[in-house]
Amino acid sequence: MPSTVETIETHSNRSLANEPSLPIETILRGGKPLLCVAGSTHDGEEGPLFDAYKNIKARYPAFRLVVAPRHLERIGAIEALAAKKNLPLVRISAILNGSKNGYDSGVFLLDRIGVLASVYGLADVVFVGGSLVPVGGHNLAEPAYFARPILFGPFMSNFKEMAEEFKRSGSAVQVTAAGLESELVSLIEDAPRRRSLGSAAKQVLERHAGATRKNLELFLKAMGENKAQAGRAK
């Protein structure tokens, strides 16, 4: 598993530093909502997410959903799908640019590049996309860095070892499209479990980051010893 702790921290801090006067946190966390961030979603994943949102919202009015598509050229199709399902979807960029419409919306579309990592840090639960459809999944390290409970689907071939370790250590939950809603409800209703999953995810990431640093130190030490031996041999 690659070490990405320093990269995520730097990227997140830079993203937040470049926020406009109305920060994303004000939009998404206002009113103390229950926030699910669905990151790097692909075609075929927004449908189950929207269906789950509608049912959960009826039970938990504070529930909010952020959809962050992997490819921004799909935004029009996502908006059309939301309209078909009668969901009030609003682009975050529109609010940041001064629009008052949709400020209290329950479904937000993240249409800006470079801020997903920091938005993960605002979530109560994270779904990592590219995994409900046969894309191969995406990296779990960013939500793990923020100690967030992670859900992902059955298609994680691009991150197979990482996904297996997160499941094995109780750091994430694998779901199907049919089981997405029930697992979200389970996490919404169980704050201690959310904290436990998030903490375990953070520990997995830190353990691997520490191992990577240790291996690098051993490598550099060996390189130094080899150079010294080569020098003595001359």
233 lies in a domain? no
Count of structural domains, the chain: 1
The pLDDT tens digits for 56-68 are 999 999 999 999 9
226 lies in a domain? no
**Considering only CA atoms, which of 125, 110, 129 is closest in space to residue 33?**
125
Cβ distance 92 to 112 under 8 Å? yes
Give the pLDDT score at 224.
57
Cβ distance 151 to 137 under 8 Å? no
The pLDDT tens digits for 114-127 are 889 989 999 999 99
Give the pLDDT score at 69.
98
Cβ distance 217 to 172 under 8 Å? no
86 lies in a domain? yes
Cα dihedral sign, 26-60-175-133:
negative
218 lies in a domain? no
CA atoms of 234 and 186, how far apart (whole Å): 68
133 lies in a domain? yes
SS3 labels along 182-216: HHHHHHHCCHHHHHHHHHHHHHHHHHHHHHHHHHH
Give the pLDDT score at 225.
55
Q: Phi and psi at residue 96, in whole multiples of 5°? A: -65, -25
CATH code for position 43: 3.40.50.2000
Structural domain range at position 160 = 5-206
Give the pLDDT score at 17.
39
Largest CA distance in the chain: 78
CA atoms within 13 A on the CB side of 204: 30
Query: Reduced to 3 states, what is the DSSP secondary structure of residue 98?
Result: coil
198 lies in a domain? yes
**Considering only CA atoms, which of 198, 185, 51, 173 is closest in space to residue 122?**
198
The residues of the chain scoring below 70 in pLDDT are 1-22, 99-104, 210-234
225 lies in a domain? no
227 lies in a domain? no
